Amino acid sequence: MTIRDHLLSGGEGLQHKTSPNHGREFGAGLPDTIILHYTAGSSAESSVEHFMSPSAGASAHLVVGRNGGITQLVPFNVTAWHAGRSEYQGRVGFNQYSIGIEMDNAGPLEKTGGGYTAWFGRVYPESEAVKAVHRNEVQPAYWHCYPEKQISAVLDICILLVDHYGIKTILGHEEISPGRKRDPGPAFPLDKLRDRVLNRDRSLDTEPEPEYTRRSGVVTASSLNVRFAPNVAAPTVLPRLSQGTVLDVLREAQGWYEVAVAVRGWVKKDYVQV
């Protein structure tokens, strides 16, 4: 897959449509950011149809289906209307800086007797539901999962955009509009994807990972956060562990233990006795 005249070309399952909902061309040196979204809709087709309607007042450059299929609605040199009220690190109004990628995903789900229900009424099986804590929240909730084909397609697109336009930043809508937006949500591996895309040339990638310690441990603090990565700024991945919780210590890095309880994450080693 390549980019020609600001349009994707050559991808399997690639379609082009023209949304009437867009602004003017980007300014010099832009776009320099990618914003990732979920559609919170029932299908990629319904989301594309929505973005094609003049009354919607919204659009994105791309819609990526659950099977990895891609529909481009706005050329990459033209602003789309996907970010809305948004601010991050001093910048306001991210439509003027960013390429918007919408992923077909129902978003938050509610556990019901028959499965897991989206806001629009569709019931999903347990295999498509993920229980996780949102980076901007403290309580776990259920979320619609992202298939590997979809994640892989988005990864490939981001790499292509970074290489073609010199993109410097990849963000979720939840990061530029916290409190107002929750997408792409914790079911999407946002931190892993942007690290892989933006830090592909790191020398650290050639260094061996720390060996697994394979020990048992007990939480000594009154409560302990479990984080996605070994640093205090990383998002939590499940509710706090209480004192006395027994866990499996998998490995050590940078003053942290990677542990496994219900899910895998990182905790400060100072608060675990092994």
Quick check: is 148 catalytic? no
**Residue positions counted in the chain:** 274
- Name the β-bridge partners of 124: 116
How far, in Å, CA of 36 to CA of 167, rounded?
Answer: 13
Are 256 and 230 in contact, with CB atoms under 8 Å apart? yes
Residue 57 burial (10 A CB sphere; 0-12, 13-18, 19+) = exposed
Residue 175 has φ and ψ, to the nearest 5°, of -90, -25
Q: What share of the chain is helix, strand, coil (3-state, %, to 5)?
A: 20, 40, 40
Q: What is the β-pairing status of strands 33-38 and 98-103?
A: parallel
Candidates 25, 102, 126, 258; catalytic one: 102
Residue 96 has φ and ψ, to the nearest 5°, of -80, -5
Residue type (1 letter), 28: A
**3-class state of residue 247 by DSSP:** strand
Helices 190-198 and 148-165 pack at an angle, to 10 degrees, of 40
Residue type (1 letter), 47: S
Per-residue exposure over 28-43, b if at least 16 CB sit within 10 Å of its own CB, e if not: eeebebbbbbbbbbee
Q: Identify the helix (H) or strand (E) that includes residue 50.
A: helix 44-52
Are 186 and 137 in contact, with CB atoms under 8 Å apart? no
CB atoms within 10 A of CB 130: 18
The set of catalytic residues is 102
